[in-house]
Amino acid sequence: MKVADADFAMDRRREQTMASAARDYWARVRAGELGALPSIFGLVSLIILFTALRPETFLSERNIANLFVQAMSVTILALGLVFVLLLGEIDLSAGVTSGVCAAVMAKLMVDAGQPWYVTVLAALVTGLVIGAAIGLLVAVVRIPSFVVTLALFLGLQGITLRLIGEGGTVPVRDEVIVALANDNMPIWLGWTLAGLCTVVFAASQLLRWRRQKERGLVGRPLGLVVAQIAVVAAALLGGTFLMGLDRAPSPAIVLNGVPWGVPVVAVLVIAATFVLNRTVYGRHVYAVGGNAEAARRAGINVTVIRMSVFMIASTLAAVAGMVDASRLNSVTPDAGAGNVLLYAVGAAVIGGTSLFGGKGRARDAVLGGLVVTVIINGLGLLGSPAYMQMLITGGVLLLAASIDALARRRQAATGR
């Protein structure tokens, strides 16, 4: 059975040093196992480019906070699509699903006067039901996911239009929902969460390294583990420091702190990473994505796995819709339509998730979401017209898909 790219490759029994780890990594890159390398290279290049073109604004405290807020909904939507893409399927209705769920939340809030937790639950259930319907049609009725989700892409927009009305707008004024994308947590809480995440990440990596040593399995050398912990700590603590700086446009007010939506995205990404890398379910997803027939012969319930990934994707789409409603303070009939889906699919693929299935990680949604957001944000600062944003984002997506296709050909040629 072909097992997809995951952490299973760590089960190798030979000692590794930093030099041998570097040689192994270079050998994997030459064989086509690029991982997150293209997206990291692209992200760094874009940051350098836009910083050079707009040195006074692009890396300002206010714009960095804007980047995080703008990236939230794209990242969450892309995170759900990673599960679907891992099976080699597609969900073209994810964007409009987010719009329907946001409309359900807003209508219950405004027309029925329901509290925020009831409306959030209703939106999540709506997403779950839509995902179950898609999964049923794809996995049981055996209709191609492209056809099912294309039909829902059109149909769900009609539901949103029916709920809100043509030309209408439903305001979102609940303090909890609005705070998700518009308010910031206290400085002390941001530092506490950043420190806690750093300690937990360091402990998990070191414990994993020790378990491998105790069992005679050889993974990464200790120096590499420490270096990875240092990079993650620098990113978390550095980001918290930048968010703690005052970014108010006027000296009369103080605006600082990490946006509340950032830890929400972090929790979702950590949960998805755990599910995909550390659970039997995650291994089954990779197995079905690598070879569905072999997975079925191995006793994996392929139908359940197929249904479940669409349910996860649609539920996360509901979360993305609520985040967008919070950021915009309203829901309109075109919520989730337009380029929303394309940006999310682009984020997942640019991050490193394969369109052919069996290859991808939760972190791809974060990296790809940042790349897409940096492009949109940077071109906006340059005053570029909308068509230019579409052309460049489409070109980056095409480049990422080409790299993925070439990498798979290289892997097949080298027998990996």
CB atoms near residue 293 (< 10 Å):
10
Residue for token pair 């997206």: 39
pLDDT for 323 = 93
CA–centroid distance for 256 within its chain: 25
DSSP state, 171?
E
- For residues 100 and 153, the answer to whether their CB atoms sit within 8 Å is no
Q: Which residues of 306-341 are buried (b: 16+ CB within 10 A; e: fewer)?
A: bbbbbbbbbbbbbbbbbbbbbbbebbbbebbbebbb
DSSP for 184-219, written as a single string:
B--HHHHHHHHHHHHHHHHHHHHHHHHHHHHTT-B-
pLDDT for 15 = 60
Give counts: helices (H), strands (E), the chain: 16, 2
pLDDT for 8 = 47
Element (H, E) at 168: none
Residue type, 378: G
For residue 384, the SS3 value is: coil
Residue for token pair 């699509």: 81
Enter the tokens of residue 208.
């994993």
Handedness of CA 42, 43, 44, 45 (dihedral sign): positive
pTM: 0.87
Query: Residue 348 class from Cβ within 10 Å (0-12 exposed, 13-18 middle, 19+ buried)?
Result: buried
Distance CA 376, CA 169 (A): 25
- For residues 365 and 79, the answer to whether their CB atoms sit within 8 Å is yes
- For residues 185 and 169, the answer to whether their CB atoms sit within 8 Å is no
Enter the tokens of residue 204.
């998990």
- Degrees, nearest 5: CA angle 113-119-65: 110
Residues 6+ apart with CB under 8 A from 339: 390, 393
- For residues 349 and 81, the answer to whether their CB atoms sit within 8 Å is no
Residue for token pair 């996860």: 312
Splitting the chain (416 residues) into consecutive groups of 10 residues, what average pLDDT does each group show? Answer: 46 64 79 77 89 87 87 93 93 93 94 93 96 95 93 92 88 91 90 92 89 78 88 90 83 83 91 92 93 91 95 95 92 86 86 84 89 88 81 78 76 68
| 201 closest CA partner among 231, 241, 242 | 231
Distance CA 62, CA 331 (A): 25
| 365 closest CA partner among 353, 348, 352, 349 | 348
